[in-house]
Structure 1
Amino acid sequence: MASGTLAKPQMRGLLARRLRIHIVGAFIVSLGVATLYKLGVAEPRKKAYADFYRNYGSMKDFEEMRKSAK
């Protein structure tokens, strides 16, 4: 039976090294999600508001509401 000695596992600094890797990964993922939100939700919403208010007539809307209340 041949038995060899196993290399000792590296324990010192293991948590710090893994945390560094995970923090960088979390930062990259959060930047990606923020970019997708801006391009997929915020920009279309701003465009929709701009399109709505470009031709919005408040007095015309007021008159329609007043006529519908009678």
Structure 2
Amino acid sequence: MNDAMLKALTKARVWWLGDWATRRRGDRGQTAVEYLGIIVVVVAIVIAITGTDIGNSIKNAITQKIADLTGK
């Protein structure tokens, strides 16, 4: 790699990082709507697991693995 190419790549990388930092400054964190969306998804997953046989299957598999490890 020659010096001119190295300088061009370094300049491009510094520009890209500077651009990224500028874009990130405008985003100061999660909004209440985003948190609400995450909560809704988690609640939906919990309801889906507890309302079907998948929840019992997971519980039985975990219980069996614990019993295998402890020898009981």
Give the number of the structure whose alpha-carbon radius of gyration is greater.
Answer: 1
- The question of a shared fold, defined as TM-score above 0.5 by the shorter chain, is answered with no
Higher relative contact order, chain-length normalized (CA < 8 Å, sep 6+): 2
TM-score tier by shorter-chain length is: 0.3 to 0.5
Q: Which structure's residues are more often helix, by fraction?
A: 2
